[in-house]
Amino acid sequence: MNMSMRLLSSAFACPTSETKQYRNVNFILSRSSVRVSSFVNKDVCNRNGRNTRVCCQLMHGHLEESYERKKKLQVSLQKPDFVRTLLIDNYDSYTYNIYQELSIINGVPPVVIQNDDWTWEELCHYLYEENAFDNIVISPGPGSPACPEDIGICLQILLECRDIPVLGVCLGHQALGHVHGAQVVHASEPVHGRLSEVEHNGCQLFHGIPSGRNSGFKVVRYHSLVIDSESLPEVLIPIAWTSTSTLPSIGSKVSDKYNGHEVQTDQSIFFDSFLPEAGNGSSNLIDYGQTRNARVLMGVKHSTRPHYGVQFHPESVATCHGNQIFKNFREITEDYWLRYRSLHNKEKRANSNAYTQVSSASRLYRDFCRSNNAEINTVDQPRKVNHGDKHLVHNNTEMNHKCLKLKWRKFDHLAGQVGGAKNIFCQLFGHEAENTFWLDSSSTDMGRARFSFMGGKGGSLWKQLSFRLSDQSDGCSKGCGFLSLEDSEGSAKTIFLEGGFLDFLNKELQSYQYDKNEYEGLPFDFHGGYVGYMGYDLKVECGATSNRYKSKTPDACFFFADNLVAIDHKNDDVYLLAIHEESSSMTEWLDDTEEKLLRLTGSTSMDLERQYSHPSTFSSHKAGFAAEQSREQYIRDVKKCLNYIKDGESYELCLTTQIRKPIEVLNSLGLYLSLRERNPAPYAAWLNFPKEDLCICCSSPERFLQLDRNDMLEAKPIKGTVARGATEEEDKQLKLKLQLSEKDQAENLMIVDLLRNDLGRVCDPGSVHVPYLMDVQSYATVHTMVSTIRGKKRSDVSAVNCVKAAFPGGSMTGAPKLRSMELLDSIESCSRGIYSGCIGFFSYNQTFDLNIVIRTIVIHEGEASIGAGGAIIALSNPEEEYEEMILKTKAPASTVIDYE
């Protein structure tokens, strides 16, 4: 095979300037794909059990002649400007962190496929016929390399692609050992989101990286299985080991190119792991090692092939020198092909064939780009929808080309003069609280939040959307369901959405045209548009396979708000905003609301205190909340999670449950006002949907995802929670204990890496960073550990597609996300409903800000429900996890009981 396309760095360039700027060239072939298992006995592994010993009996075969690389041809011996990587995703939640690294280091983004996207024949076509890739990286992932469903085509790559450089990370590392006969066994303990110092033998993969204890080479580990070093065959050479037991994530210094600052602590409070009883039926892997300090194999290389594996995660934000490892792998790849070419010095033939090879590669990359663009910017065809007994056509062209105009007015320093946000909402919208919303930054300390938005049923563009997923057991496509719409005149209809709610919302937002100059001068990004919530079960529109349970509440509810009030808590300013279609003019609402606003006085606030601070009815019998699960059952479920983690099925599982209480008639808005008083939060919300008999009282401290007008995405996951102390001294000690807790650091780090991955799917390479890692923030009832992840959105990605890439929030699922959601569905006893979803806005100008629905009371059809849970990791103690879950229900539950 002519190798000139690998060598001609000056002749082979990416086909478009956009590709040169690292456009995402990830694509999936339209041809059907099958899982690769031809070399693996299917009895080796299944979902319900594993064999006692994980070892590989594969025969070392050779590629058929049709797949052998042809003789390599010689051109000028110089390194290329870029290296082309095929990145195999084992359904992990950290793959796109590797993608981001390689995009910058290689000079061109890798092509990402999942491990069952291509057949072996398709893979060989691109590797050996098209010569499309210089090397292969095999990602981490859940499970075991002995399970065909977990590892897919990767085993055949490692077995047969002997003449292509390969780097395996974590599961990929274990697979490299597995295919050559090494045993993959249980580690002495699962290690997830924790750091160890590593020593190495100085091979090229670790060139320029220090080695050993106190060297500064600390790596993040996410694994429950390891290669048994005693079983290594002669063809595999050990190249790295742990030199210490685990270390705190925040030690003397956490330094990485992704961090905008350094975190300093003096020591770590170390918690011994709770070791669950083995034998949940999912694994009979043998245990390896007896002590925490036993050296664990962290890297191997093949003796004759350019194949490497590392057990740790070089792409983690907290791994030191991880970037250098990927740079070294590029060097290994370049040096390998230079050496290979020098053995086949046939310059004349190389020059004669160079043009055809480069043209072929260029066509391939153009196909990648076209496929990717088509995937993002597909224009859907008209669809059949069901409306009563009639079949209607849901034609997207009906919603296109809406030109919206914005009018707004500003009132300087007015909010405090008229009683603040609470008084403004209650006086303007609270007397008839139906069809109202309030995105309420009720806690603005330390700059956590700045703006609040409120409104009610508005002008001619107002409408309400209510979406319910179809029964997933009926075999329909994932995400399909029924959307009910009601307009400002009260006209209602129901349509069937084959593509799901997010597909509909995406088309709606992209149909709006607007003039950016009209909101010049506004300090916030919500100028009108959709306000509401997305329930957790919409995960089936974002990659999850199914929902085991069906939610009682709608899976999504939104208002289209064309009139709203905004409050700037920093400057105490009030804004009135109204949007209308270009053909109409709308100033009546602005005039009326301005008049009402200016009439407000502080005295009306006192009247409101009397109106809302007492229950509207009195009951001599106050029943408490009933839990979906008893304490004993919840603890058993935690132990199930621990066993899945021990077997490598997940790194972290965010287990949740619900508590419920029948309620008599009460003033729901008064209940919300009481909740915001007790537990003020930066991402609080009130939503009232009377047609659904639904009120939501939310006091969330957590941002899920925000996209601002500068195309910057931000996530602020919370992991790690402890109660406030009764005294100032106790409070300080509890806060310090949280900050230095290895368990809580591990929880937080795993979700930070997951969110970096989710943003990495839709952000410009090199732009994803972590300006704040594991900050401890204090709220009225708890201390929490919060991190901040940011990245620059790619220009070819829509706002809704950013949400799809990250929903549900990783802090509510665990990692890897898809496998963790499957496991949680099998463990939890009911639908999460609105809990674990998100509340916020999608502005008509394609900005959004969404919270995570926690610390929330959902009032629906005569029942109040509160969801709560916590992240289960290998260090978790079941009894302590139960107590943490109860702690998180305390503020909302006591508010309901005291107010009723």
**What per-residue confidence (pLDDT) applies to 477?**
53
Confidence of residue 533 (pLDDT cuts 50, 70, 90): very high
Catalytically annotated residues: 170, 313, 315
Q: Of the candidates 437, 438, 484, 434, which has an alpha carbon nearest to the alpha carbon of residue 464?
A: 484
* Identity at 739, one-letter amino acid code: Q
DSSP string, 447-481: GS--EEEEE-S-STT-EEEEEEEPPGGG-PPTT-E
Question: What values do phi and psi take at 35, rounded to 5?
Answer: -70, 145
CA 710 – CA 516 distance, rounded (Å): 12
Confidence of residue 410 (pLDDT cuts 50, 70, 90): very high
Q: Indicate whether 824 pLDDT > 60.
A: yes
Q: Of the candidates 753, 695, 687, 694, which has an alpha carbon nearest to the alpha carbon of residue 719?
A: 753
Neighbouring-strand partners of residue 497: 481
CA distances from 863 to 97, 467, 835, 885 (A): 43, 21, 15, 20
Q: Of the candidates 274, 271, 250, which has an alpha carbon nearest to the alpha carbon of residue 635?
A: 274
Q: Indicate whether 135 pLDDT > 80.
A: yes
- pLDDT tens-digit series, residues 699-722: 999 999 999 999 999 999 999 889
In the three-class reduction of DSSP (H, G, I as helix; E, B as strand; rest coil), residue 761 is classed as coil
> Comparing 314-328, 390-404, 801-815, 862-876, which segment has the lowest mean pLDDT?
390-404
- pLDDT tens-digit series, residues 800-816: 999 999 999 999 999 99
Rg of the Cα atoms in the chain: 28
CA 424 – CA 412 distance, rounded (Å): 15
Q: Indicate whether 373 pLDDT > 60.
A: no
The verdict on pTM exceeding 0.85 is no
Confidence of residue 622 (pLDDT cuts 50, 70, 90): low
CA 85 – CA 99 distance, rounded (Å): 9
| Degrees to nearest 5, angle at CA 683 with 844 and 893 | 130
- pLDDT tens-digit series, residues 446-502: 778 899 999 999 889 999 999 999 985 444 557 899 999 999 999 999 999 999 999
Between the ranges 235-249, 386-400, 440-454, 489-503, where is the mean pLDDT highest? 489-503
Q: Indicate whether 415 pLDDT > 90.
A: yes
Q: Indicate whether 664 pLDDT > 80.
A: yes
**What per-residue confidence (pLDDT) applies to 38?**
28
Q: Indicate whether 747 pLDDT > 70.
A: yes
In this prediction, residues 835-864 reach a mean pLDDT of 97
Q: Of the candidates 190, 89, 133, which has an alpha carbon nearest to the alpha carbon of residue 761?
A: 89
Q: Of the candidates 809, 892, 896, which has an alpha carbon nearest to the alpha carbon of residue 855?
A: 892
Cβ-contact 337, 350 below 8 angstroms: no
> Comparing 180-184, 609-613, 690-694, 837-841, which segment has the lowest mean pLDDT?
609-613
Q: Indicate whether 351 pLDDT > 70.
A: no
Q: Indicate whether 423 pLDDT > 70.
A: yes
CA 68 – CA 329 distance, rounded (Å): 24
Confidence of residue 27 (pLDDT cuts 50, 70, 90): very low
**What per-residue confidence (pLDDT) applies to 615?**
47
Count how many residues are written for the chain. 900
